[in-house]
Amino acid sequence: MGNSYYFRKIHSLLGVIPVGFFLIEHLLTNYEATKGPEAFVDQINWLNGLPLVLLLEIVGIWLPLLYHAVYGLYVAYQARNNVSNYSYFRNQMFMLQRVTGVITFLFIAWHLFETRLQVALGNVAHENLGMTMHDIATNPVVFTLYVIGIVSATFHFCNGLWSFLVSWGITVGPRAQRYSSIIWMVLFVVMSVMFIMSLTAFTDTQFQVPVEASTGH
């Protein structure tokens, strides 16, 4: 029981820092696509120019993400959802947190395979990721699946922030928890809209060609 308590605390903490930071960074990076291919590539190049970027990715993103995902799946498997018997708001949110966690895990694995892994294997250059995203976004079926994955990921993060504040004793009263629900659900809507705007931006024909070709560089 003691180990389970600490494992859950670590799982909760990693869902906010650094996994949550990674999600926000990913949102801001992809949102640059709404400004055109050049802005998106500039942001990609800036990220890749950070010192020790591979070490930062492994220690600061992939390992925490792996722990959060694997332990989260274990928690989802162990969870007893009683929505049919107790259909109140928080119980429904509890169930959605588990469901979106599984969807998010599958979505991130798929997205990383199509993008980051292809770059690592040398099949796609960093500066051509916009073209890859264009191919993804212009496929109606894949676009729909991406929207489902995006909404699931943002909900899982924002609702997870509500749970984090409760489990860490920050929002302890009903009033604080009610206001916290409103704040994080507003953030969920804002982040989802920004992500979907970014995905839609990749459908622009400007992303069909490398930035060098489109700008004449």
Residue 145: C-alpha distances to residues 9, 105, 149 (Å) = 31, 13, 6
Residue 57 burial class via C-beta count within 10 angstroms: exposed 0-12, middle 13-18, buried 19 and up: middle
Cα–Cα distance for residue pair 93/95, rounded to 1 Å: 5
Numbered residues of the known binding site for heme: 26, 68, 111, 156
Among 2, 20, 1, smallest CA distance to 163 is for: 20
119: CB partners within 8 A, 6+ apart: 125, 126, 129
Q: How many residues does the chain have?
A: 217
> Quick one: tokens of 44?
């990609």
Numbered residues of the known binding site: 26, 68, 111, 156
> Quick one: tokens of 91?
């119980």
**Cα 97–chain centre separation:** 14
Cα–Cα distance for residue pair 164/9, rounded to 1 Å: 9
> Alpha helix locations (H) across the chain?
2-16, 19-31, 37-48, 53-57, 63-78, 89-114, 116-120, 129-137, 140-167, 174-201, 211-215
